[in-house]
Structure 1
Amino acid sequence: MGKNLFVLAVISLLLLVGCSQQETSPKAEDNNSSKTEMDVFIPTRESILENGRYPINDNGQTYGPNMEDMAVIFGDPDLMLATDENGTIGYVKKVDLDGPQPRTPAEAVRLTKEAKPREIPLYDIDGETIIGKFIVGR
């Protein structure tokens, strides 16, 4: 269980670093988002707070940075901001990030002991187009 907490802490740190980097990105004309060189739309923390929700893509999925301190209010987005090892900015699906969930305490112990880095897809804002890979647990 401790290893799962460590993995979640590392993921959270990576997401926070990604969020802090987007704060310095050039703002789009509406000041409610920013775009990177690769034209990945990244809603700002301020725009999420102002609108009271994460934006929703054409497939009905919420997306954006993890708003950890506001999780009680906003929850987690379906697509969470992430950066792969090559610096590609995109989104990972929360369900992919969470990985297999134990159904029993014994299964939780087994999953913790067997935990190893795993690769999940990094998506464009549509949640369908794979633009890279993200390593969980490294």
Structure 2
Amino acid sequence: MFKRILFVSGILILGMVIGNFFFSDTLADNQDDNSKHKDAIAYPQNEKGQTYGSALDTPSYEDEPDLIKAYGVDGTIGYVKKEDLDGPEPKTPEEAVRLSNEAKPREIPLYDVDGETIIGKFIVGG
């Protein structure tokens, strides 16, 4: 009985070692490829050098384009400026609480890809 347990344990350990040898690099490569994919978003630029596109696949806030694709109130597809979406920046924690408590929907311009021509309006927080 002991020899049988020892034999089965040896087979299991050997299988784990072989599996680790053959598959560990492949799994690590896949993880590296996935993380590279998230960092590899290269947005196109307009004539003013502003990046534009969808922010849906952006891995972080810092990586969002300057002009973010949006649908206007009438369904027009355009872009909103990242800084317009952010709104006013609070200077103190108290001001942040006050702005949060007083938050209500606000209208911002919807731009063409040039970042200058206003083609509609977009409601933030509506």
Sort the TM-score into its range (normalised by shorter chain): 0.5 to 0.7
The gaps in structure 1 that reach 5 residues or longer are: 1-47
| Alignment pair present for 1:57 and 2:46 | yes
Higher RCO structure (Cα 8 Å, ≥6 apart): 1
2:59 corresponds in structure 1 to: 70
Q: In the TM superposition, what are the counterparts of 1:12-91 in structure 2 within 5 Å?
A: 52-71=41-60, 75-91=63-79
Among all aligned residue pairs of Structure 1 and Structure 2, give the percentage whose two residues are the same amino acid: 63
Paired AA for residue 112 in structure 2: D
Q: Aligned-residue CA RMSD in angstroms?
A: 2.1
Q: How many Å apart are 1:101 and its aligned residue?
A: 1.1
Q: How many Å apart are 1:52 and its aligned residue?
A: 4.0
**Alignment length (residue pairs):** 89
Paired AA for residue 121 in structure 1: P
1:95 to 65, 69, 83: 83
TM-score, scaled to structure 1: 0.59
Q: How many Å apart are 1:69 and its aligned residue?
A: 5.0
Contact 2:69 2:79 in 1 (8 A): yes
Contact 2:58 2:64 in 1 (8 A): no
1:122 to 110, 113, 117: 110
1:25 corresponds in structure 2 to: none
TM-score, scaled to structure 2: 0.65
Q: Is the partner of 1:108 in helix, strand or coil? A: helix
The gaps in structure 2 that reach 5 residues or longer are: 1-36
Structure number with larger C-alpha Rg: 2
